[in-house]
Structure 1
Amino acid sequence: MSLPSASSGAVRVLLVEDDRVQQMLVSTLLEREGCIVDLAEDGQEALALWQEHRHQLVVTDCRMPRMDGYAFTRALRALPGGGSVTVVGMSADTDDRARALEAGMEALLDKPLSAEAVARLLRRG
């Protein structure tokens, strides 16, 4: 994963999550790390936002209505430039790990996310 360092400016993150509580929790954790966060409630909305802003990092729930994180990731990867975006999934079910990697995500984080997990994610670059 190659995210810019803090000295080169804030990382713009697309958070794709249908649960309002999780949206608040994860966006707060990302913002504490200096990220700019855009929210989408499902994969369809996320695709439109990504095409508008070209986020450097996408953190997506795996299981959502309309378009889940797996379908979103496959659709994103098919777009011009979508292959170079870092996509990380989130799930409360560890059985989702293989499916997330198969869909094109780089990693799967366990829900609920902790501040330490978010900090590690952003330092991987």
Structure 2
Amino acid sequence: MTPSPVPSGAVRVLLVEDDRVQQLLVSTLLEREGCLVDIAEDGHEALVLWQEHHHTLVLTDCRMPRMDGYAFTRALRALPGGASVRVVGMSADTDDRPRALAAGMEALLDKPLSAEVVARVLRRG
């Protein structure tokens, strides 16, 4: 599959989320900020998409079936170029924070995300 062109100045973001409602919410917030969003339903799909497009920012749910956000982040970090990717976790459970940071995520955001939080994450990048 040929990657779709990224508009000049747009950030291509990989959203890793198994819940359809959260996919719609977060992708809409990102697109409003001018991002091009690719969506994966688990860590396995995310690794394939990242290897195709080399996203500079990944937002990942921590708890997913098959491959969760923790295992995905560790696997991504082991890939060539994966150490420089910004990976931000998302969870409804703040107890996930230490585990997210230990897996290599730079931060953990509380779900549901707001437009302000998404804008702040993008400004940091």
Please classify the TM superposition score into its range, dividing by the shorter chain length. Answer: over 0.9
- 1:75 equivalent in alignment to 2:70: no
Please list, as runs of the form range in 1=range in 2, the aligned pairs for 1:1-125 lying within 5 A after superposition: 9-125=9-125
Q: Find the aligned partners of 1:82 and 1:75 in 2 and give their Cα distance.
A: 8
1:25-53 deviation per Cα after TM superposition (whole angstroms, max 9, x unaligned):
00000000000000000000000000000
Unaligned runs of 5+ in 2: 1-7
Q: Which runs of 4+ in 1 moved over 2 A?
A: none
1:37 counterpart SS class:
strand
Give the aligned residue type for 1:73: T
TM-score under structure 2 normalisation? 0.93
1:96 counterpart SS class:
helix
RMSD of Structure 2 on Structure 1 (CA): 0.7
Query: 1:124: Cα distance to partner?
Result: 1.1
The number of equivalent residue pairs is: 118
1:61-100 deviation per Cα after TM superposition (whole angstroms, max 9, x unaligned):
0000000000000000000000000000000000000100
Aligned identity (percent) is: 88
